[in-house]
Structure formats: C-alpha cells, structure tokens
Homo-oligomer: A and B are copies of this chain.
C-alpha cells in the first residue's frame, strides 16, 4: 500500500569527530522516504525554497518517491546546523533557520488522498491534524513528535494522538509525554492517549516496542564506525513504516520484523553523512544486515536449569 509522509526537507550542516559537511540534503521526510522507498511506494509532502537544486529532486525521484506533494516556493529551504561530540548520542544544535518551513501549510494532492498509510513526521501537531483531515480513509497512521510540542502544544498533540495507531518517539519524550519515569508505566499511559503501538527509540541502545500485548526489545547494531547519527531516527521510522505498509493489518510478528528493518536502515544511515549510504543500498545488503541482527540477538531456548 502507498505510504504518505509529511515532514521536513532541509539542508543540514553537520560536524562530527570524523568530518563535516555543509548544506547536505537532510530533513525528517527526506531520510524517512528514502529509507521507506526500499519497501513500498512513498508519497512525500513537504516544502522547499527556490534554492533547492534539481539534483536532490532527481535523487528522490530515482528512489521512486512521488514528489507531487513537494511544494517549491519563493525563499530559502529550511537549514539546520549541528555538531556531535565523541559520544555521538546527542547533537548540539548550532543554528536553525526555518525559512520557507515557517509558513508551511501541507497541501495533499488529490492523487494522495486515497493513501492507506500515513506517517506524520515531527512537525506542529496542528499541521499533523490538517494533513490527516485531508486524507480520506487511512487504514492506519504513524506519528513522531518532540519535546518542543509536548511542552508547548500539549492539547493539540493529545488531539492528534487520538487518531494515531503507532507512535515513535525517544525515551525522554515518552517520559515527558506520560509523566512516568518507568518506561513500562509510560507505555501504558501513552496507550491510553490513543496509540495502540508505541515504539521507543533509544539511539545507540536500540528500540523498545509496546503494543499492549507484548514487548519487544531490539538492540542497535554495534558499528565500529558511526560517522554521523543525523537522520537515524527518521531512517528507522522509514524502515518500520515502509515494511508495515505492505500489510493492511499486521501481526505482532510482522511488527517485530518491521522494527528490525528499521534498525537495519538506521544502522546503514549512520555510516555516512546525509543520504550517502542509504541512497544506494541493495536488497542483499538489507537482508544481510537483517541476518546479522539475528546473530546479534540469538540465544537458545531453555527447558530446565540442568542443561
């Protein structure tokens, strides 16, 4: 089924202990759609400025992503500048220029209105609601958010969460949203807000999934070289949603597979700046790393202590 994503397309300037890059292609919708494109047909809704180069359009089109929903308006594209220390776990934001993103009103093209699966990347929850109002009859909806909206637009966020099936946020955000420090308790609180599935992203520690019936823990892939973590969460979300979008309904087992695919995509994403690694993956590379996740986590069942 076709997957609609609304989010940001941006220029990222990133410095890590291993190098730096200026005004490289980034943004939540960019990482998400590129990652998801390995699994399903993706339609993108976002805005860029008149400075957005044709080569980036070609890259996304080359991944089969439908760009009818990508508005190009007068002005400059959203820019973000950040830096990571050796721990690589958190970016220090040096500069944010919203530019054309500041007045972004998502418009869903007619051909997108039948989308069956929608992912609302991290944008103003009022805009997330606007998007969902424009989609006729989605089968299920995924959503991301951040501390800024949890704190500043809580009512709007709670409103959209009632319409969300799958929420993907990090552990700090889950604690902030629920007011619970314990993640099991936080998950119960968040289920009560609407989302029946909660995926908690924990960066280098992997992800935890709660669906009210079972809990699943996936590690992050231990890489010798983590080059740039920018976009890891969005690439993860793209893999999860992309794989799940193949299914009208999905089982617990498919959800777990999806989280591993998301982890595979995130692990490739952090191996280089921007989309450099995930723009040209082969199916073999994806399957091969999926198998490595199996090796990483496998242990034998046990029937009795005497074995």
Contacts and interface: CB of A to CB of B under 8 A. Distances in A.
Interface of A: 38-39, 86-88, 181-185, 202, 205-206, 208, 214-219, 222-226, 253, 256-257, 259-260, 283, 286-287, 290-291, 293-305
Nearest to A264: B302
A141 B196 CA distance: 47
**Copies per complex of this chain:** 2
Contacts of A218: 297, 299
A286 B300 CA distance: 15
A297 B182 contact: no
Nearest to A86: B181
B215 A296 contact: yes
Contacts of A253: 299-300
Nearest to A180: B86
A256 B300 contact: yes
Contact of A290 (B215, B287, B302): B302
Contacts of A291: 301-302
A293 B291 CA distance: 20
A182 B220 CA distance: 13
In the A-B complex, list the 3 residue pairs whose CB atoms are closest, starting with the nearest.
Answer: A217-B219, A256-B299, A86-B181
A305 B301 CA distance: 27
A216 B302 contact: no
A296 B222 contact: no
Contacts of A302: 257, 260, 287, 290-291
Given A181-B87, A182-B225, A305-B39, A298 B256 contact: yes
A244 to B, nearest CB: 13
Given A219-B217, A287-B305, A182 B224 contact: yes
Nearest to A304: B287
7 contacts: A86-B181, A87-B181, A88-B181, A185-B224, A214-B295, A217-B297, A256-B299
Contact of A205 (B202, B290, B295): B202
